[in-house]
Amino acid sequence: MSDNAGGEARKHHYVPQCYLKGFTHDRRKDSRLYVVDARRRRVFYTTPSNVAAERDFNRIDGDEPNAIEAIYADFESKAGPALVRTEARRAVGSDADLDVLLELIALFAVRSPRQRENLRQFHEQTMRAMMEQMVATQKRWEDQQRAIEAGRMEPPDISYEAMKAFVDAGEYRVDVTTTRHVVTELEMLPVVYDQLQRRTWVVLRAAADSGGFVTSDNPATLCWNNENMAGGFYSPGFGSADTSVVCPLSKTLALRGCFDGRSGIVDLPADLVAAVNTRTIALSDRQVYAEHDQFVFVAPDGRVLKGHELVSLPPAESPESDRHE
C-alpha cells in the first residue's frame, strides 16, 4: 500500500506497511524498525513507511494508472487484521486467515524489485541473442531487408555496418515497462498461490529470550530441504517436492510450508530462531528489518551472533554473500 499525504499516491510499498508493523515494538504508526542495509553496509532506525517502497511501483498505463495499487490496498485491508489476529492468538485461527496469509506470501514471491530485475535481464539476454543473430552475417542482414521490403518488418534507418558495431559494442540496456511487470506478476500470482495451498503449514513461535524473528525486503524464502541440492544447477520451484517455504509473520511468529503433511505449532528455542533468521538474511535482497539489534543469526563459521554484529562482518563472511539470486 502507498502513502497518500493529499493528492495522488506515488510511493508504492512492495512489502506492505501492515506487515512490517509486526516487526516494530508495538505496531503503532510511529513505531520504528531496526534496518540493516547490506548493500550500503549501514544500520538505522526508521518507520515502516520509509522502507520497501518505490515510486510508481504498481502504476500502469491507461485511464486508471493506480487501479492495481487500489486493488493491492484493498487486499492489505484484509491482510492487516489477519496478521494482527494471528499474532494475538499465536496461531492461525481460521482457514480464512490462512488463505489471506498464503496470498500475502504469494505476493511476496512474485512481486519485488529483484523479481522484476530478473525478468528484465531475461528479456535483455533474449534480445541480445536475437540481435547478434540478425547481424551475424551480411547475408542474414540482407534477408532482413527483403522481409522489410515485403512489408513484414519496419525499416531501420541504419546501415549493416553501423548496426553490427552497435550490437558488438553491447552498450545498451533493454527495459521492461511497469505495466508488463504488473501483468506478469498477476499471471504468476494464482499459480504460486495454488502451490502454497497444496503445502501443509506449521506455525513457528519464537522463544521469548531469542530476540525474535527478522524479516526483509524478500520475506518469503523457498529452499531445498536437501543441502546437497542447495546451490546446485536446479533452482527450487514452489511446486518442487522436498522444498520448504518460510515466511516470518511478525517478530514472534513465522510460517513454514512443506509437502510432508506436517501442521500445527512448534515452539523454537533461540538457536532455531537464529537458523530461521539466517535464512531470511541470506535470501534478502538489500535490507533486513527487525524490532531491535538483539536478534540472533548464525555466522558462516557457526557462531551465533547478535544483530548489531551483522553489518560489521566482512561481505565474504556475511550471510548475504550466500543468497540465491
Residue 231 vs residue 211, higher pLDDT: 211
What confidence category does residue 92 fall into, taking pLDDT thresholds of 50, 70 and 90? Answer: very high
The pLDDT of residue 230: 76
User: What distance in Å separates the CA atoms of residue 297 and residue 285, rounded to the nearest whole number?
Assistant: 17
| Alpha-carbon distances of 176 from 127, 130, 166, 182, 325, rounded to whole Å | 12, 17, 20, 10, 19
Strand partners, 223: 244
Task: Give pTM, 2 decimals.
Answer: 0.89
Residue ranges per structural domain of the chain = 8-116+177-322
3-state helix, strand, coil in the chain (%, to 5): 40, 20, 40
3-state secondary structure string across the chain: CEECCCCCCCEEECCCHHHHHHHCCCCCCCCCEEEEECCCCEEEEECHHHCCEEECCCCCCCCCCCHHHHHHHHHHHHHHHHHHHHHHHCCCCCHHHHHHHHHHHHHHHHCCHHHHHHHHHHHHHHHHHHHHHHCCCHHHHHHHHHHHHCCCCCCCCCCHHHHHHHHHHCCCCCCCCHHHHHHHHHHHHHHHHHHHHHCEEEEEEECCCCCCCCEECCCCEEEECCCCCCCCCCCCCCCCCCEEEEEECCCCEEEEEECCCCCEEEEECHHHHHHHHHHHHHCCCCEEEECCCCCEEECCCCCEEEHHHCCCCCHHHCHHHHCCC
Q: What is the model's pLDDT at position 319?
A: 67
Q: Model confidence over 36-85: pLDDT tens digits? A: 998 889 999 999 999 999 999 999 999 999 999 999 999 999 999 999 99
**Local structure of 132: helix, strand or coil:** helix
pLDDT of 7: 53
Residue 85 in grid coordinates: 489476529
In this structure, are residues 82 and 97 in contact, taking their beta carbons and an 8 Å threshold? yes
Label residues 143-171 b or e (16+ Cβ within 10 Å = b): ebeeeeeeeeeeeeeeebeebbeebeeee
pLDDT of 323 strictly over 50: no
Q: How many helices (H) and strands (E) does the chain have?
A: 8, 14
Residue 249: pLDDT over 80: yes
- Which tops the pLDDT comparison, 280 or 7? 280
In this predicted model, what pLDDT tens digit does every residue of 214-227 receive, in sequence order? 999 999 999 999 88
Instruction: Decide if pLDDT at 322 tops 50.
Output: no
Whether residue 162 has pLDDT greater than 70: yes
- List the grid coordinates of 309: 554484529
Rounded Cα gap, residues 18 and 30, in angstroms: 13
Residue type, 5: A
CA pair distance 39, 3, nearest whole angstrom: 25
pLDDT score of 320: 55
| pLDDT for res 321 | 47
Question: What is residue 151's predicted lDDT score, i.e. its pLDDT?
Answer: 66
Mean confidence (pLDDT) of the chain: 91
Question: Which of 7-16, 169-178, 315-324 holds the top average pLDDT?
Answer: 169-178
